[in-house]
Structure 1
Amino acid sequence: MAQLDRVLGVFPTAAAVQAKRLEVIAGNIANASTPQYRARDVDFRAALREAGDEMRLAVTHQKHIESPEQLTRDALQYRVPLAPARDGNTVETHIEEAAYGDA
């Protein structure tokens, strides 16, 4: 397994972080009409850096490495809206759709 980890490198972690980002963006889109909902996004670089730090700390057993589902404040941030809605919702559907397509 260690040899496979060396071959794949950071790609499994990057794929997991990207999947979490897509989940967060999909949640934003699903809550586009929810009053007071604040859109969020994942800072991919911060999340990948955190996941990399965890990997360096715990390599004795495969199950010691945590998944990126536990993102810290550095990685999971609120999105700053260009034009917030009157009801306090900060989701801008066109921005979320572009981010989803870009991820």
Structure 2
Amino acid sequence: MKGIGDYLQVHSAALSLRSKRNDILASNIANAATPNFKARDINFEDEISRVAGYGTMDGSDARHIRTAVNGRPDQVLYRQPLNPSLDGNTVELNVEQMEFSENVMRYQTSLTFLNNRITGLMSAIRGE
């Protein structure tokens, strides 16, 4: 039987990673005019797989496609700019604002899922 922590772990991990990504994206936006600042980000899908304990896929047959994970776990990556600036800054404000807005929406969605899970648990405990 799973415990309550196991039941809520994925959504809790998603909230934590979304919060971390918000901090990184906010730092990018704040440093949009800083010479030689490099825009950073994390790969959310890789991080949630690692944190939630999904692990990597193993092929059991020679015909299976092998997957490769680049970089270390919990690594902050650098964003490749579409139009690099002359001062070496790789922050593109419109890209960062779009990524930040999308991440905030996904954070709120994760929060709603977590709230629904908790509400469901409370209903089960009360016998409703």
- TM-score by structure 2 length? 0.61
Residue in 2 aligned with 1:90? 90
Whichever residue aligns with residue 72 of structure 1, its letter is D
Q: Which amino acid aligns with 2:21?
A: R
In structure 2, the residue matched to 1:15 is 15
| SS of 2:3 mapped into structure 1 | helix
Q: How far does the alpha carbon of each residue in 1:25-56 deviate from its partner, in whole angstroms, 9 at most, with x for none?
A: 00000000000000011110111122123xxx
CA distance in 2, matches of 1:8, 1:37: 37
**SS in structure 1 of the partner of residue 95 of structure 2:** helix
Matched, 1:78 2:48: no
Identity of aligned residues (%): 35
Secondary structure, aligned partner of 1:89? coil
In the aligned structure 1, how far is the partner of 2:38 from the partner of 2:89?
6
| Structure 1: gaps of 5 or more residues | 54-70
Distance 1:83 1:41 in 2: 17
Tell me the residue number matched to 1:61: none
The one-letter code of the counterpart of 2:98 is A
Instruction: Tell me the matched-pair count.
Output: 84
Q: What's the CA shift string for 1:67-95, capped at 9, x where partnerless? A: xxxx633xx21000000110000000000
Q: Distance in 1 between matches of 2:7 and 2:74?
A: 28
How do residues 8-47 of structure 1 correspond to structure 2 at under 5 angstroms? 8-47=8-47
Q: Secondary structure at the match of 1:10?
A: helix
Long gaps (5+) in structure 2: 54-72, 104-128
Runs of 4+ in 1 over 4 A off after TM superposition: none
Please give the root-mean-square deviation of Cα atoms over the aligned residues, in Å: 1.7
TM-score, length basis structure 1? 0.74
SS at match of 2:52: helix
